[in-house]
Structure 1
Amino acid sequence: MAEDNEIDQLLEKTNLEYMLEFETQIFLDVIHKDGLVICAKGLNLDLVILNVLKVYCDPGNLVIVMNANENEEKYFVEKLNNENVYVTTYDSHTTEREDNYLSGGVHFVTTRILVLDMLKKRIPIEKVTGIIVLRAHKLLESCQEAFVLRLYRQNNKTGFIKAFSNSAQSFTVGFGHVERIMRTVFVKELYIWPRFHSLVIESLKKHQPKVSEFHIPITDKMRKIQTFLLELMNLTVKELKKNNKSVELQEISVENCLTKKFHKIFQLQMDAVWHQLSSKSQQLIADLKTLRHLMITLFYADSVSFYSLLSGYRTMEYAKTSTWVWLEPAEMLFSFVNSLLFCGDKEFNAEICPKWKCLLDLVKTEIPNDIKKSKSKEHKILILCSDSRTCHQLKEILVNGPHKYLFRRALIKKVNFKSVNKKYESYDMPRIEEEPSTSKKAKLDETTDKKEDEEDDLQNSYLLTMTQTFVESNDESLNDSEVQFEPFSQMENMNLTQICESVAQTQPTILIQTFKGGDNYISLQKTLQDLKPNFVIMYNTNITAVRELEMYEAHRQQDIPLQVFFLLHNETVEEQSYLTSLRREKEAFEHLIETKSKMVRSRGSRWQIGTSASYCRES
């Protein structure tokens, strides 16, 4: 009873009403009993961890947070807004650190400093209230975290240890990985929270965004190129397995090569036997990575970039080491790729990505029409994409148009052509100077960037504003020429909240951002809270981002739902990669649930099921 009263007093410092049901359950579980919490990607535990920190953010407690990155430290310090929160860095003096430890509160400390301070007896280990471990799946990668926890537990038998992770797949690698992590963290309870957990489904179903899916077919040329690349990958995988029959290569398949985690899966599989592989096998592995990069470039970049990249591999120097360029599908690929850029006698007529047209229709027609019908004064659009290169690409397309972007890329990549199609002549293009040879080569003049590429200027986010306010227009729809976009030049000197306040309420705002966000955000969730968008366009698919949007809408609980538009290519690598990632995560959680059941059966009361044991399929 005394323990329950003490916990009730601690809970008075928290804000449980704002949390969803499953977040509240996770919070209550880890407060009552220490354990390892494994959540699905996208089900962010920021709010749970924040409330745990609020419980112990007091001079009478000394709590240490491990494995937090710089952005997370800033986020938690800002949210706690308490003088009893300390961020320990190498700049702080040893005496200052000692005084801070004796002052109690919450301390964000790097592992190296923790090891040093514990060995030097600067931290009163016996008085530490507890340790919170973030990214628990990385504990076995470095011995320092494990060493800190062992030092702590040897000198302090009563303090708590609470560990969190959102990477279920990391716990399925190797033999007994979960048990080893739990022994390292000195906990007995394992809490598993997949997306298909019944309580998670109930919590997110109450308030769901309005979703519209646009299934965009790829062009016949892209489909044919994809076929050639898949054939090359299949032949390379077969050759690799043929030359290494004694090595276990079940994970090395064309399907897995297309997934986002291919490099990590491959490294875990091959690290132990890498020294046994012949130089030919190692080259085949390098060829797989090259072919995968080509496949991603085909769908995530543009036709000019793909053409330039593929042309770089058609050299005698590269052919001496790589064998895939000699295969029949490669020869057909090299011959066919010209059709992406040219028609007739070297006439530049680059093929436009099918997604671009759909994106332009959304931001210039569909969304403006929806805004006209709504009574909201603020109009904010968030476009999410995979990487900074795609982010810059979309900014250029909205500001300058797809034809001007492709032509500029051709100039930067030094693509040779004899003439330009009429589609490009209508734009204000840089002039083309004639070379002494029979062909014409485009050169950059003073009005264009003289760098070979814009990669030095790539950012994780761009803000655009519409130059014409369509809300005041009496027309039912707008033509492309009536809507223009301009970059917001002051973004570097302002945070997102200040930017949104500075832009006029009647002026629509578009933020283009990668899934991971900029340096100022610890996650997409922070961006959504600051921007409060009315519309979200998923230019690329990502499991984590989809679930973060669900979490944001569930917390928002507004009558007018958030509108989300998905742009999907059918029967492509993008779709296959997304489905494979879902399947692999589901298999990882099923493995964890089975492992947990074995723990309960073999060790009895020493292990606890933790939370609800009811699960159902993710819809």
Structure 2
Amino acid sequence: MLEYENQMFLDLLHEDGLLIAAKGLGLESLLVSLITTYNDPGNLVLVVGTSPKEEEYLLQHLQENEVSPIPKKLTSDYSVGERSNIYMDGGVLFVTSRILVMDLLIERIPVDLVTGIIVWRAHRVIESCQDAFILRLFRQKNKTGFIKALSSSPMSFTVGFCKVERVMRNLFVKKLYLWPRFHADINTCLSARKPEVIELHLTMTNSMKQIQMAVLDLITNTVQELRRSNNTIDIDEFCPENAISRAFEKMVKLQLEPIWHQLSIRTKQLIADLKVLRTILEYLCQYDCVTFYNLVSSLQTTEKAMQSGGWMLLASAETLFVNAKLRIFGENKASPTKKQGPQSSNKEPFTECKLEENPKWLALSEILAEVRQEAVESKDTEKCLIVTQDDRTAQQLKEFLMFGAQPVLQRLFYSTVAVKFGIPTPSTLPGKTTNQKGTVLKERKDKKGKAKGKTNEEEENATLTQIAKKYDFIGKNETEEDTEEVEFMEHLFLSPLILVQPLKNASDPLSLNKILKEMQPKYIIMYDLDLSFVRLVESWQARQAEEQVKVYFLVYKGTVEEQVYLTNIKREKDAFEYLIKEKANMIVPEYLDGKQDDHPDLIRDAKKPSETVPQNQITRKGGQVEEPQKEQRVIVDMREFRSELPALLHKRGIDIDPVTIEVGDYILTPDICVERKSLSDLIGSLNSGRLYNQAQSMTRFYKKPILLIEFDQNKPFHLQGRFFLSSDGSSSSKDVAAKLQLLTLHFPKLRLLWCPSPYATAEVFQLLKTDKEQPTVEQAQAITAESNPDADIEKFNPQIKDFITKLPGINTKNMYTVLNRVTNLVELMTLTQEDLTDILGNSKNALALHSALHHTMKQPINQDAVRGRGKFTKKGVKRFRK
């Protein structure tokens, strides 16, 4: 461990707390140290908040450090009995939040024996999440165990009112540890062993400069128009500097999503325009001229112009479109028209076109040439890591290194732009033949003889072989399969080994950590700047003190790319300065750690005399002794623990029984069954017909079935806008509304419950359970889709019952009388009107039913034939002329 990492570890080990560090400073090593310290069968430590890939990385790191026993991962693959045995064995366990909540509620885990809980990604712990539920259950029954929380997202604690204080309250910790990059210990440690950094300030081409200026003008105009048209909204952070940052979308979502349905169409168009313009700037700095032109040309349509807020009509937009085309066709060649299609007399006028090359590609070639020269001089096999922003850029760089710039650009041109304008494709394109491998591979093949004579140790050979087989190096021959190990090794030890890796990998967030550790590159080329990776390289270099790594920065000087990077640094610095001030002014109650009985969050219901007032102090009111309220209980289906509602119900003093039930999601009383649906789930269930079957089962087995439609608390409580039904009365909106109406008409007993948030749902559930009988788990589990209910009200065939309820004259009062006194439909058809009057008890209903069964229905009158025959009087009564 580094010096500052050791100090982090000692601080957190000495006293529980929340530790917030800057991105890329290696919190994973701190987590490994905590796990190693408590990894003993005499302890029972639970780790929550980690993803499967992170757990895999941590377990691999522990195995390499020869830690024994290796911690286990508890998932749904283990049975109930196996989980109980694993808990009793002790040690460190990675447990998913859903499983741990159920085990704590059922008391399958010995809570009093738990040594402590380590929380990863602590910034996500809000009051209604599963991790907060776990900590509350843990602290209610365990007053001695530790809680240690880690987070590397300081900006998440600056959003909202007293966010850091609320998170600390949910974590039950009293200490706050802050470790920014400008911390004295971190600065001293990383400055002692710094990598050799070479910044290459590149210059954009003239066309790229014109495009950037035009897009920045469009962003400025759009932001000004947005601020001008929304005077009532707090849009102080809506500025051009923030609009070019990737965090702008989160900022807009946080502020405007709750009132999105109240915004004008103009405002929504302007917000969408800012996203489009920011995407254009990203494409300009990252991708080639052909890819950029394809994006811009896709926006230059009538449909896109109608959807935008009007930026395409400005002069800067014309500058954007013209210069994007100049990068493809050049200034001396006119852009192709419809007349210059395949029938044009010109003979392949664009076969020799000179497409504008990306300046970063040229700089990358020069860097690799320098790296190759150094590798030749050192007579050693060096490894070079090229880091890009995404997979698309990484794939383009691989093709560029294999075939060169113009072959790659021409292949893209003839596969996209040429097809659009009808330009004939040449018979052979560069980069398609198998014998063309580019200058990089050619030089390596020429040096094959030198590579054979290179002598390395066996351990080094084996390590390089494993690395080359695991990762896709550019130096590996991709067109011909190497059948022999000798031939593979000949290609392997040709220096340098080049690996192109994207920064963002959704499937494995720690992929770069693994690559740096396994590959041990001597050269790192940052094709795209990223703050987290810069810190990661700094900490990795500090650990690799024996050899200095060489880092190349490729950045367009004085451009949006540089500004975005500097803005990210500033935002993180401002976040830590805000947290430092909050820590200085923070009032920390003595009960905040939850180790005393006076923590307000541990008192589940303040209205319970049994929990707040001792039995010998119960007072008399009105001459009667105030009796303690009975314990309330709700049966919850296990699949519902993905939502926030069970945690909020438990906090209100309602006991939770997590079981698997087939009918409904929540059983409030023996008569009340609730099926919970979010908006997206509601639409999917209506379209698939699943909600009909669920409503049918609930109405069949419960007297009071309820369909709960629960909204997100961060979104508007409104059935219009982009979240559900559109306000333009489209067919899709009408379909969803019609299906909801049809559902309520078909099941009259079904009640709809609309709740704006899970908090409101928990309050309504508590009101519905007031003075009601509590449900039992045995009864709820006994009800299945195939079971026969014992109630006399449900002894009839449900299909026949549904048919009878739709007949005229049949209502809820006489429906069961008909079902009890009439054997079948044939007998019902033979009854006279007098018999039906005797059964229904109403002559009017009997006449309606008899007429529907025996009289021929007349064909509806053609409305076109009688159109215009009537007139309206002043009172609005329509009379027909005779």
Which residue of 1 is the match for residue 78 of structure 2?
92
Residue 92 of structure 1, CA deviation: 1.8
Question: Counterpart of 1:260 in 2: which secondary structure?
Answer: coil
Mapped to 1, the partners of 2:150 and 2:490 lie a distance apart of: 38
Shift of the 306–582 alpha-carbon distance from structure 1 to 2, 3 Å rule, reads same
Q: How does 1:67-466 map to 2 (within 5 A)?
A: 67-81=49-63, 82-140=68-126, 143-322=129-308, 323-343=310-330, 344-346=333-335, 347=350, 348-363=353-368, 365-374=369-378, 377-415=380-418, 440-442=423-425, 466=444
Shift of the 489–68 alpha-carbon distance from structure 1 to 2, 3 Å rule, reads farther
2:3 to 16, 21, 24: 21
1:51 aligns with 2:51: no
Residue 588 of structure 1, CA deviation: 0.2
Which residue of 2 is the match for residue 539 of structure 1?
527
Mapped to 2, the partners of 1:57 and 1:489 lie a distance apart of: 45
Question: Counterpart of 1:351 in 2: which secondary structure?
Answer: coil
Residue 445 of structure 1, CA deviation: 8.1
The one-letter code matched in structure 2 to 1:595 is E
Which residue of 2 is the match for residue 522 of structure 1?
510
Mapped to 2, the partners of 1:240 and 1:534 lie a distance apart of: 48
Mapped to 1, the partners of 2:7 and 2:411 lie a distance apart of: 54
The one-letter code matched in structure 1 to 2:393 is T
Mapped to 2, the partners of 1:400 and 1:33 lie a distance apart of: 58
Which residue of 2 is the match for residue 457 of structure 1?
none
**Do the aligned residues in 2 keep the contact of 1:231 with 1:329 (CA within 8 Å)?**
yes
Residue 248 of structure 1, CA deviation: 0.6
Mapped to 1, the partners of 2:519 and 2:364 lie a distance apart of: 20
Aligned pair count reads: 534
Shift of the 56–304 alpha-carbon distance from structure 1 to 2, 3 Å rule, reads same
Residue 260 of structure 1, CA deviation: 2.5
Residue 35 of structure 1, CA deviation: 0.6
**Do the aligned residues in 2 keep the contact of 1:34 with 1:187 (CA within 8 Å)?**
yes
Mapped to 1, the partners of 2:139 and 2:442 lie a distance apart of: 53
**Do the aligned residues in 2 keep the contact of 1:35 with 1:191 (CA within 8 Å)?**
yes
1:570 aligns with 2:557: yes
**Do the aligned residues in 1 keep the contact of 2:2 with 2:543 (CA within 8 Å)?**
yes
Residue 442 of structure 1, CA deviation: 3.2
Shift of the 36–293 alpha-carbon distance from structure 1 to 2, 3 Å rule, reads same
**Do the aligned residues in 1 keep the contact of 2:46 with 2:116 (CA within 8 Å)?**
yes
Percent of residue pairs identical: 41
The one-letter code matched in structure 1 to 2:555 is L
Shift of the 485–513 alpha-carbon distance from structure 1 to 2, 3 Å rule, reads closer
Mapped to 2, the partners of 1:176 and 1:394 lie a distance apart of: 45
Shift of the 584–505 alpha-carbon distance from structure 1 to 2, 3 Å rule, reads same
Mapped to 2, the partners of 1:260 and 1:267 lie a distance apart of: 12
Which residue of 2 is the match for residue 587 of structure 1?
574
The one-letter code matched in structure 1 to 2:399 is E
**Do the aligned residues in 1 keep the contact of 2:391 with 2:502 (CA within 8 Å)?**
yes
Shift of the 384–593 alpha-carbon distance from structure 1 to 2, 3 Å rule, reads same
Shift of the 196–326 alpha-carbon distance from structure 1 to 2, 3 Å rule, reads same
Residue 585 of structure 1, CA deviation: 0.4
Residue 174 of structure 1, CA deviation: 0.8
Question: Counterpart of 2:19 in 1: which secondary structure?
Answer: strand
**Do the aligned residues in 1 keep the contact of 2:62 with 2:70 (CA within 8 Å)?**
no
Higher relative contact order (CA 8 A, sep 6+): 1
**Do the aligned residues in 1 keep the contact of 2:383 with 2:521 (CA within 8 Å)?**
yes
User: Any gaps of 5 or more consecutive residues in structure 1?
Assistant: 1-18, 419-438, 450-462, 474-483, 491-499, 609-619
The one-letter code matched in structure 2 to 1:62 is L
**Do the aligned residues in 1 keep the contact of 2:26 with 2:536 (CA within 8 Å)?**
yes
User: Any gaps of 5 or more consecutive residues in structure 2?
Assistant: 336-349, 433-440, 452-472, 480-487, 594-882
Question: Counterpart of 1:440 in 2: which secondary structure?
Answer: coil
**Do the aligned residues in 2 keep the contact of 1:64 with 1:131 (CA within 8 Å)?**
yes
Shift of the 21–117 alpha-carbon distance from structure 1 to 2, 3 Å rule, reads same
Shift of the 223–168 alpha-carbon distance from structure 1 to 2, 3 Å rule, reads same
Shift of the 468–587 alpha-carbon distance from structure 1 to 2, 3 Å rule, reads farther
**Do the aligned residues in 1 keep the contact of 2:289 with 2:324 (CA within 8 Å)?**
no
**Do the aligned residues in 2 keep the contact of 1:379 with 1:509 (CA within 8 Å)?**
yes
Mapped to 1, the partners of 2:323 and 2:495 lie a distance apart of: 45
The one-letter code matched in structure 1 to 2:229 is N
Question: For residues 523-562 of structure 1, what are the alpha-carbon distances to aligned partners after superposition, in whole Å with 9 as ceiling and x for unaligned?
Answer: 422211100001110111111111111101101111x411
Shift of the 217–319 alpha-carbon distance from structure 1 to 2, 3 Å rule, reads same
Mapped to 2, the partners of 1:345 and 1:208 lie a distance apart of: 52
Question: For residues 226-247 of structure 1, what are the alpha-carbon distances to aligned partners after superposition, in whole Å with 9 as ceiling and x for unaligned?
Answer: 1111111111111111111100
**Do the aligned residues in 1 keep the contact of 2:444 with 2:494 (CA within 8 Å)?**
no
Which residue of 1 is the match for residue 841 of structure 2?
none
Question: For residues 281-309 of structure 1, what are the alpha-carbon distances to aligned partners after superposition, in whole Å with 9 as ceiling and x for unaligned?
Answer: 11111111011111101111111011111
Mapped to 2, the partners of 1:327 and 1:536 lie a distance apart of: 42
TM-score (norm 2): 0.58
Mapped to 2, the partners of 1:380 and 1:63 lie a distance apart of: 40
Shift of the 370–586 alpha-carbon distance from structure 1 to 2, 3 Å rule, reads same
Residue 506 of structure 1, CA deviation: 4.6
- When structure 1 is superposed on structure 2, of 26-35 and 274-283 the one drifting more is 274-283
The one-letter code matched in structure 2 to 1:389 is R
**Do the aligned residues in 2 keep the contact of 1:466 with 1:508 (CA within 8 Å)?**
no
Mapped to 2, the partners of 1:503 and 1:122 lie a distance apart of: 57
Residue 372 of structure 1, CA deviation: 2.6
Mapped to 2, the partners of 1:605 and 1:141 lie a distance apart of: 20
The one-letter code matched in structure 2 to 1:238 is Q
Which residue of 2 is the match for residue 11 of structure 1?
none
Residue 97 of structure 1, CA deviation: 1.2
Question: For residues 405-453 of structure 1, what are the alpha-carbon distances to aligned partners after superposition, in whole Å with 9 as ceiling and x for unaligned?
Answer: 11111123243599xxxxxxxxxxxxxxxxxxxx52438989999xxxx
Mapped to 2, the partners of 1:517 and 1:584 lie a distance apart of: 23
**Do the aligned residues in 2 keep the contact of 1:471 with 1:506 (CA within 8 Å)?**
no
Which residue of 2 is the match for residue 37 of structure 1?
19
1:65 aligns with 2:53: no
Shift of the 468–254 alpha-carbon distance from structure 1 to 2, 3 Å rule, reads farther
Question: For residues 159-199 of structure 1, what are the alpha-carbon distances to aligned partners after superposition, in whole Å with 9 as ceiling and x for unaligned?
Answer: 11100000110100011000000000000000000000000
Larger radius of gyration: 2
**Do the aligned residues in 1 keep the contact of 2:408 with 2:431 (CA within 8 Å)?**
no
**Do the aligned residues in 2 keep the contact of 1:464 with 1:487 (CA within 8 Å)?**
no
Question: Counterpart of 1:140 in 2: which secondary structure?
Answer: coil
Residue 202 of structure 1, CA deviation: 0.7
Question: For residues 556-610 of structure 1, what are the alpha-carbon distances to aligned partners after superposition, in whole Å with 9 as ceiling and x for unaligned?
Answer: 111x4111111110111110000000000000000000111112xx4599999xx
Question: Counterpart of 1:116 in 2: which secondary structure?
Answer: helix
